[in-house]
Amino acid sequence: MKKIFFLFLMLIGLILFWSKYRLYSIEGTSMNYGLVEGDRVLCDRHFSSIHRGDLLVVDHNKDPRKGLYIKRCAALPGDRFFQKERSFYLQIDGDSSRTQQLAQSYDLEAVLTKEGYFIKDPYLKYYGVAHNWRLEGPVVLTEIPLSAVEPEHYYLLGDYRDNSEDSRFFGAIPRDRIYSKVIYIFKKSRSWMHLLEIEEADKAK
C-alpha cells in the first residue's frame, strides 16, 4: 500500500512539474558556444516577464517541421536597433538619453548616430556571443537597417551570429509564439578540442 501511495505521489509530482516546466536538448550550432549541441535547458512555461538577454523557446511559425527554436532576446517592444559590419546596435525604448546613461552606468560602448545614441554589441560583455569572421553568409546576417520593435513583439538573435536563423530572417516574434523561458542550463562535458571540432564541423556544412 505504501509503495502504491508513493508511486501515486510521484505521478502527481511529474504531472505538476510537466505542467510548468519543459526540458529541451540543444541541437545545431546557432547558440554556440554558451549552448552547444547536447546541452539541455530547463524552461519555465509560466514566466511573467521577458528581459533583454533572456533565452526564449519560440515557434516562428514559418516551417512547423523544424520544431522549436531557442534564441536570445536582443530587443524588447519599443527598442530600436540596427546592425553594421556584424555589430548589433541597440537603443533602449527608442530613448537616446536613457541609452547613453545606461551605457555609462554599465561601462558599455555608446555610439552617437544621427538617430541618437546606440549601445554597440550590448550582449558581448555578458554572454557568449561569437563571430566567425572567415565565414561568409548572406547580407541579412551582417547588415540590418534601422528598425523598431513593434508592440508585443520581441527581436531574437542566436549567439553564434554568423550562423543563426533568427529574427533577421523571420522578423520579431509575437508574444503568443513564445512558449517558455530558459531558467537553467545543464551543460555536457566539453573540452577546448571538442569546441574546435564543433567549429570545424560547422564550417564544413
Using omega within 30 degrees of 0 as the cis cutoff, is the peptide bond preceding 33 cis? yes
Residue 171 located in a structural domain: yes
Residue 70 located in a structural domain: yes
Is 202 a residue whose pLDDT tops 70? no
139 vs 89, which has greater pLDDT? 89
Residue 8 located in a structural domain: no
Residue 175 located in a structural domain: yes
Q: State residue 3's pLDDT score.
A: 67
193 vs 175, which has greater pLDDT? 175
Task: Say how far apart CA 83 and CA 122 lie, in whole Å.
Answer: 12
Task: Give the whole-number percent of the chain exceeding pLDDT 90.
Answer: 60
Q: Phi and psi dihedrals of 158, rounded to 5?
A: -80, 155
Residue 3 located in a structural domain: no
Is 192 a residue whose pLDDT tops 90? no
Task: Give the whole-number percent of the chain exceeding pLDDT 70.
Answer: 82
Domain assignment of residue 42, given as a range: 20-204
Residue 164 located in a structural domain: yes
pLDDT in tens, 52-109: 999 999 987 756 556 789 999 999 999 999 999 999 999 999 999 999 999 999 999 9
Provide the number of structural domains found in the chain. 1
Residue 1 located in a structural domain: no
Task: Say how far apart CA 163 and CA 137 lie, in whole Å.
Answer: 8
Residue 10 located in a structural domain: no
CATH number at residue 43: 2.10.109.10
Q: State residue 115's pLDDT score.
A: 97
Q: State residue 28's pLDDT score.
A: 86
Q: Phi and psi dihedrals of 204, rounded to 5?
A: -80, -15
